[in-house]
């Protein structure tokens, strides 16, 4: 073959495999131009953060906002208020609580009041006492001494404490109401101040909780998981939980509602004043576009207009003015970042405001396809696949198998198998959901398919699937991921030899399990703040998690305080199988992580070094459970994409250690990618030997490399 023919062949091969633009990291991970977007109560002002640093909320006092700040990721939140109109001195915040080591919580912030309720664990760290703070006078008064109840404590529309709950040893939950003889402005958690309201069995606890009170505070709305798998939205007269009226029954996925404000996770649309339930959002066909179901005809025309404005996307109501005339709207899409609109209700007209990431406009982004597959034990799981932009797809007409043709019709089947990253969600009682994500845009623009599985133990798909994960860390929850990989290989989606696993928190644990329990399945792994030893994980939980300790041990499958429990937890801990690692591994950790302590990564790296197994270890001294600072998020992406390029050969943007001015310290550089290794000042990477026992049931894993 001549030189010209050789160059032509290389060019053709390059053209066949390069299917997308490598979008610069800075466009994906730098702070959005607008974040934490919200509407003021009077509907006249849209607030946002120009740099994604702190969450904030409007209050019932004009121009006053409240916001949290923690110390480099330690999650001990300090709480401040700020008058956004002050110019002299400019924007000086007032500390509502800035005690070191104390975690402040906003318990209630009703926009009709000039007071808020705040929780502080300043008396023992486990439980939060409840304080009333006056936004006009800055006076703070304790209204409940708490030595018993978990958060949240449920407050009515007049800022009165009404309900609280505690967890029992068997995992059930008991809800209590305030006794008629108690002083509501000077409560304790003593039994004399409370009356049992409702007992929820363990299997129903995560699907059963209050979501708010009617406008007159006489009725209480609940998400109700008893006697149903997906749950219902119900209402009953306060004090009569036995007399529920069903408002809506979930059909495809759980109704999700956070007692705290959250634009992404709340599926219930509530009137800001009279508290009428107006609509429900539920994911339906293929788990793609969420659909809004109108429950009150007063908003039927409004929601029809908003649906028609972007018929391929789903409207999200971010904020509503107190007079109900002005709404702040965005849309859920897998193709574009959030775009925001003013909706003027009297005019039935929406006005475009801005997009959060205008520099991505014109870039071709990935699509996210929802599908189902069946596990080895006949459990149906939901998952998402994102393919690189411009991936050539197989056509249904080409396929004789009707199942394959149906997959092709959804856009699941590429013409050629892809390099793939299995991206495992955290929690683990969280879920993957449809919509634009920075991570998917980033990975697919580097030429990787992304598989995201809602494995057993995930939220959102009913209590049967949720509870099926109890005690299955490192076993059936991991089998589900392997079965997802097998599905991708069998259907020509992924190349058998070019599959990586990565994730954060539980997803990081899953990556370590993948590297140790199934060392021949994945080409490499990336663990971000994942636990390596379930015993030390339990020993180091934050003190305010102790109120749900029984729930955590039920989820893990054992208690560290028994001999049998410790043996079980050890058998599910990657640390004790570190000598089985065979493929490249990267670990990233925040030094101040309160949930998964730095020791979880340190001890795993030490075990690898004791067995002469190379590892790349990146430490962020100013981060916690995940990397929030933009410069650190950019560097994280740089580290990971360069690492993935080395093992499964996708594209990457050039990266060096100090490129983004991050705080990252490279404590171990197995691949020699970053040019320098920081001295380990704390001396934690020692030579402690670890002996790996045999894995019980190891043969239950189907190794895709040999299968």
Instruction: Provide the annotated active-site residues.
Output: 505, 593, 625
End-to-end alpha carbon distance in the chain = 38
Number of CB atoms found within 10 A of residue 339's CB:
19
The tokens describing 694, both together, are 């045999």
Task: Give the largest CA-CA distance in the chain.
Answer: 96
**What secondary structure, in 3-state letters, does 129-153 show?**
EEEEEECCCCCEEEEEECCCCCCCC
The pairs formed by 46-55 with CB atoms below 8 angstroms and a separation of 24 or more are 46/328, 46/340, 46/342, 46/353, 47/84, 51/630, 52/628, 52/630
Q: What DSSP letter does each residue of 429-457 carry, written as one string?
A: T----SS--HHHHHHHHTT-EEEEEE-TT
Contacts of 14 (CB under 8 A, 6+ apart): none
User: For the sheet containing 380-386, what is the strand order?
Assistant: 368-374, 380-386, 449-454, 418-424, 494-504, 524-528, 585-590, 616-620, 665-668
**What are φ and ψ of residue 157, in 5° steps?**
-75, -10
| Dihedral, 612, 617, 619, 623 alpha carbons, nearest 10 | -130
Give the span between the Cα atoms of 580 and 566, in whole angstroms: 21
Phi and psi angles of residue 467, each rounded to the nearest 5 degrees, phi first: -75, -20
Question: Is 616 in a helix, a strand, or coil?
Answer: strand
For residues 57 and 54, give the distance between their C-alpha atoms in angstroms, rounded to a whole number: 10
Q: 221 phi and psi, to 5 degrees? A: -90, 140
Q: What is the spatial distance between Cα 237 and Cα 2, in angstroms, rounded to a whole number?
A: 85
Scan for tokens 């939901």, then name that residue: 382
Distance CA 533, CA 599 (A): 9
DSSP-derived 3-state class of residue 270: strand
3 state SS of 273: coil
Per-residue tokens: 265 = 């996770």
With contact defined as beta carbons under 8 Å apart, do 250 and 268 qualify?
A: no
Q: What are the C-alpha distances in Å from 650 to residues 19, 179, 247, 298, 463? A: 11, 63, 49, 52, 38
């Amino acid at each position: 073959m001549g030189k010209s023919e050789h160059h032509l062949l290389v060019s053709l091969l390059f053209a066949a495999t390069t299917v997308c633009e490598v979008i610069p990291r800075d466009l994906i991970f730098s702070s959005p131009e607008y974040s934490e977007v919200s509407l003021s109560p009077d509907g006249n002002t849209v607030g946002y953060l120009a740099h994604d640093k702190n969450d904030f909320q409007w209050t019932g006092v004009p121009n006053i906002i409240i916001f949290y700040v923690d110390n480099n990721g330690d999650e001990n939140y300090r709480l401040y208020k700020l008058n956004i109109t002050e110019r002299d001195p400019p924007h000086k915040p007032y500390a509502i609580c800035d005690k070191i080591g104390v975690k402040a919580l906003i318990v209630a912030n009703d926009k009709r009041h000039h007071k808020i309720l705040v929780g502080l664990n300043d008396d023992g760290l486990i439980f939060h006492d409840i304080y009333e703070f006056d936004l006009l006078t800055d006076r703070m008064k304790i209204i409940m001494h708490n030595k018993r109840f978990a958060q949240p404590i449920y407050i009515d529309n007049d800022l009165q404490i009404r309900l609280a709950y505690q967890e029992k040893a068997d995992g059930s939950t008991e809800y209590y109401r305030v006794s008629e003889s108690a002083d509501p402005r000077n409560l304790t958690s003593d039994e004399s101040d409370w009356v049992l309201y409702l007992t929820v069995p363990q299997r129903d606890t995560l699907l059963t909780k209050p979501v708010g009170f009617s406008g007159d505070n006489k009725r209480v709305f609940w998400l109700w998981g008893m006697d149903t798998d997906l749950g219902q939205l119900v209402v009953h007269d306060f004090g009569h939980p036995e007399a529920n009226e069903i408002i809506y029954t979930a059909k495809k996925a759980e109704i999700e509602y956070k007692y705290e404000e959250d634009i992404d996770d709340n599926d219930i649309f509530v009137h800001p004043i009279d508290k009428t339930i107006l609509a429900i959002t539920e994911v339906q066909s293929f788990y793609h576009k969420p659909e809004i179901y109108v429950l009150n005809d007063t908003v039927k025309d409004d929601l029809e207009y908003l649906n028609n404005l972007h018929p391929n996307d789903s409207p999200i109501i971010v904020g509503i003015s107190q007079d109900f005339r002005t709404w702040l709207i965005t849309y859920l899409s897998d193709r574009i970042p959030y775009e925001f609109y003013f909706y003027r209700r009297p005019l039935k007209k929406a006005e475009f405001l801005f997009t959060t990431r205008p520099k991505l406009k014109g870039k071709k982004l990935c699509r996210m396809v929802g599908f189902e597959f069946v596990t080895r034990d006949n459990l149906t799981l939901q998952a998402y696949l994102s393919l690189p932009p411009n991936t050539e797809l197989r056509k249904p007409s080409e396929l004789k198998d009707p199942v394959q043709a149906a997959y092709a019709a959804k856009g699941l089947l590429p013409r050629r198998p892809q390099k793939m990253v299995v991206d495992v969600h955290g929690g683990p009682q969280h879920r993957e959901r449809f919509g634009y994500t920075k991570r998917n845009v980033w990975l697919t623009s580097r030429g990787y398919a992304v598989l995201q599985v809602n494995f057993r133990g995930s939220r959102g798909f009913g209590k049967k699937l949720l509870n099926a994960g109890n005690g299955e860390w490192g076993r059936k929850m991991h089998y589900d991921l392997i079965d997802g990989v097998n599905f991708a290989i069998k259907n020509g989606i992924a190349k058998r030899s070019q599959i990586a696993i990565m994730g954060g928190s539980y997803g990081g644990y899953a990556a370590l399990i993948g590297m140790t329990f199934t060392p021949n399945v994945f080409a490499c792994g990336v663990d971000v703040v994942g636990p390596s030893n379930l015993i030390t994980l339990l020993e180091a939980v934050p003190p305010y998690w102790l109120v749900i300790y029984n729930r955590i041990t039920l989820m893990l499958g054992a208690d560290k305080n028994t001999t049998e429990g410790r043996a079980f937890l050890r058998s599910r801990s990657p640390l004790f199988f570190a000598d089985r690692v065979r493929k490249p591994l990267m670990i990233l950790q925040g030094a101040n992580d309160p949930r998964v302590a730095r020791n979880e990564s340190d001890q795993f790296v030490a075990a690898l070094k004791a067995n002469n197994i190379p590892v790349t270890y990146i430490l962020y001294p100013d981060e916690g459970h995940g990397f929030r600072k933009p410069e650190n998020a950019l560097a994280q992406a740089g580290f990971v994409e360069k690492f993935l390029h080395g093992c499964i050969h996708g594209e990457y943007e050039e990266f060096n250690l100090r490129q983004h001015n991050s705080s990252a310290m490279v404590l171990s550089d197995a691949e020699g990618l970053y040019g320098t290794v920081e001295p380990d000042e704390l001396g934690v990477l020692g030579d402690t030997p670890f002996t790996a026992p045999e894995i019980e049931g190891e043969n239950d894993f189907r190794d895709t490399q040999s299968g």
